[in-house]
């Protein structure tokens, strides 16, 4: 039996704890009667708001948890993107695909910060900033999913491209469908159904990122530091076999 790298737990823990954190925010907001439960019908005459993710985390105490969850998700999501970029860097035949994938996820992670920075809303109540962040996150996140699905099949790491690629294409389709449905329902002001589509979209996207554990189980990533008198290493990758998995160096 091959030894699996402990790095496989990073995407799994990222997806699990981010999803768990968002649901904690939701239940806090429901308990405080700030939003309408997803299982209920939204009525404009009520004082409660529709259960969009950002609205659930818009007021304390839920906003305190929401800000921390979004900030940590943005940071760890960016790290996942960098590790995935290094993993494919010397194997993909079209480097621009790998670079565009990293840029898309990096910008999506940056846009995650907009809903998380609740102090902006308290000071300016700027809904437009929130909408920009939401559009960037969903749009660039969807692009990332499709590009990564394509590269998974083309690169075919360890001859496991189909086993990982097909589920990713299915998840990419689910993410895309939920995103289109979300914006369509929002345009028709069907807020309750739009909120459900938004929650489904985010859960599918987090599940997608968690699938990187499949390839990470073969790899070991290291940060290498050298003395200033030695020749600088810069950004480099070593793809020699170590134990039963591969070692990449940044």
Q: What percentage of the chain has pLDDT greater than the value 70?
A: 80
Average pLDDT over residues 231-245: 43
Q: How many domains does the chain have?
A: 1
Look at residue 127 and tell me if it is in a domain: yes
Average pLDDT over residues 58-85: 91
> Taking a C-beta distance cutoff of 8 angstroms, is the pair 24, 68 a contact?
no
How many Å apart are CA 175 and CA 197, to the nearest integer?
A: 10
pLDDT of 197 above 90: yes
pLDDT of 153 above 60: yes
Judged on CB neighbours under 10 Å (0-12, 13-18, 19+), 208 is buried
Look at residue 229 and tell me if it is in a domain: no
Look at residue 220 and tell me if it is in a domain: no
How many Å apart are CA 21 and CA 6, to the nearest integer?
A: 23
Average pLDDT over residues 224-240: 54
How many Å apart are CA 238 and CA 170, to the nearest integer?
A: 32
pLDDT of 114 above 70: no
pLDDT bin (cut points 50, 70, 90) of residue 241 is: very low
Look at residue 248 and tell me if it is in a domain: no
| Host domain of residue 155 | 6-37+45-215
Look at residue 161 and tell me if it is in a domain: yes
Look at residue 224 and tell me if it is in a domain: no
**pTM given for the model:** 0.85
Predicted local confidence at residue 124, as pLDDT? 41
pLDDT of 54 above 90: no
Residue 49 has φ and ψ, to the nearest 5°, of: -100, 160
Report the SS3 class of residue 250: coil
> Taking a C-beta distance cutoff of 8 angstroms, is the pair 228, 90 a contact?
no
**164-168 CB contacts, 8 Å cutoff, 24+ apart:** 164/211, 164/214, 164/215, 167/211, 168/208, 168/211
DSSP code of 203? H
pLDDT of 202 above 60: yes
> Taking a C-beta distance cutoff of 8 angstroms, is the pair 175, 115 a contact?
no
Look at residue 233 and tell me if it is in a domain: no
DSSP code of 244? T
Average pLDDT over residues 178-185: 95
pLDDT bin (cut points 50, 70, 90) of residue 221 is: confident
């Amino acid at each position: 039996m091959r030894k699996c790298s402990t790095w496989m737990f990073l995407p799994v823990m990222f997806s699990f704890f981010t999803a768990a954190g968002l649901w904690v925010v939701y239940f806090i907001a429901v308990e405080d009667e700030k939003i309408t439960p997803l299982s209920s019908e939204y009525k404009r005459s009520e004082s409660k708001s529709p259960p969009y993710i950002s609205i659930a985390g818009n007021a304390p105490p839920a906003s305190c948890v929401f800000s921390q969850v979004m900030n940590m998700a943005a940071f760890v999501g960016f790290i996942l993107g960098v590790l995935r970029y290094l993993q494919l860097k010397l194997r993909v035949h079209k480097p621009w695909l790998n670079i565009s994938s990293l840029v898309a996820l990096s910008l999506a992670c940056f846009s995650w910060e907009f809903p998380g920075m609740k102090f902006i809303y308290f000071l300016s109540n700027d809904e437009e900033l929130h909408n920009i962040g939401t559009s960037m996150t969903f749009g660039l996140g969807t692009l990332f999913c499709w590009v990564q699905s394509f590269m998974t099949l083309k690169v075919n790491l360890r001859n496991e491209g189909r086993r990982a690629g097909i589920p990713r294409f299915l998840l990419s389709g689910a993410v895309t469908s939920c995103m289109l449905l979300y914006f369509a329902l929002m345009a028709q002001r069907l807020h309750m159904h739009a909120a459900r589509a938004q929650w489904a979209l985010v859960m599918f996207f987090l599940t997608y990122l968690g699938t990187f554990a499949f390839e990470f189980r073969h790899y070991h990533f290291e940060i290498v530091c050298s003395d200033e008198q030695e020749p600088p290493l810069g950004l480099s990758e070593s793809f020699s076999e170590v134990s039963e998995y591969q070692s990449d160096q940044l």
